[in-house]
């Protein structure tokens, strides 16, 4: 089950479970769309993979227990300082390769 982390690891912006701006890699590294597009070049600084929009968990109970009220998002914030110069160097050789070929 997705953790639904509460913030962007790069800029610290809040990413609530219903946010349409949250992006994740396969390891659930979580960033806002702005950072993914303008600072990370769709390259995860932790694994080198690409990002996809994070699905939104239903806020209402359509099926038993399968909703935010029973399965809330994480409250553990992951914001940290990312060295964007180092990342640009890391991303330079990856950003032009489609994620499914990295
Ligand atoms: Zn961000
Ligand atoms: Zn990652």
* Distance between Cα 99 and ligand 1 center (Å): 20
Ligand showing the shortest atom-to-Cα distance for residue 90: 2
Angle at 78 between CA 75 and CA 81, to 5 degrees: 155
Laid out side by side, the sheet with 22-24 consists of 30-32, 22-24, 52-53
Percent of the chain clearing pLDDT 90 (strictly above): 100
Architecture of domain 1-88 in CATH?
2-Layer Sandwich (3.30)
Q: Average pLDDT, stretch 72-101?
A: 98
Q: What is the reported pLDDT for 60?
A: 97
**Helical H runs in 1-102?**
33-38, 84-92
- Phi/psi for 42 (5° steps) reads 55, 35
* Distance between Cα 84 and ligand 2 center (Å): 15
Ligand showing the shortest atom-to-Cα distance for residue 49: 2
Ligand showing the shortest atom-to-Cα distance for residue 13: 1
Sorted by where each begins, the domain ranges of the chain are 1-88
Q: What is the reported pLDDT for 95?
A: 98
């Amino acid at each position: 089950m997705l953790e639904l982390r509460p913030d962007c690891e790069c800029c610290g912006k809040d990413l609530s479970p219903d946010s349409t701006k949250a992006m994740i890699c396969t390891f659930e590294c979580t960033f806002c769309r702005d950072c993914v597009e303008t600072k990370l070049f769709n390259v995860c600084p932790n694994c080198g993979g690409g990002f996809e929009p994070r699905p939104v968990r239903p806020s209402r109970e359509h099926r038993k227990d399968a909703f935010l009220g029973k399965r809330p998002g994480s409250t553990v914030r992951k914001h940290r300082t990312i060295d964007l110069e180092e990342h640009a160097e890391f991303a330079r050789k990856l950003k032009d390769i489609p994620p499914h070929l990295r």
